[in-house]
Amino acid sequence: MPELHVTIGGRSFPVACQDGEEHFLRAAAAMLDAEAQPLVAQMGRLPEAKMLLMAGLMLADKTAAVEDEIRALKARIADLESRPENRVEVPVIPPQVTETLAEIAAQAEALAQRVDEARGTA
């Protein structure tokens, strides 16, 4: 199990993760660090637990706002999809039409061949 050192709020923390999960751990740590950096800049040196708690709460608040927005957008999409005027009906061509067109094409080719033959003998 790999152990990485991540930096959050200017402090290094050893963190273990599953093989192959290192990228996700680094990305999550970077998000937490992005919240911790302004806290450290505004308040100076904070106790580790308070810095991590505040950064985590700020990140959780952003996540909750995004989840609310996603819920609202999903509801809007469902509403738009349920409206009949927004549906596009694509007509299906019956197989008989395709067969009839194929027969007409075959007849046209046969006629063209007869015309060519008639021109060749005249």
Which tens digit of pLDDT belongs to each residue from 68-112? 999 999 999 999 888 877 566 778 888 888 889 999 999 999 999
Is residue 16 pLDDT above 70, yes or no?
yes
Q: Is 18 exposed, middle or buried (0-12, 13-18, 19+ CB in 10 A)?
A: exposed
- Looking at the chain, the whole-number percentage of residues with pLDDT higher than 70 is 96
Compute the average pLDDT of residues 36-46.
89
Residue 97 is predicted with a pLDDT of 87
Mean pLDDT score of the chain: 90
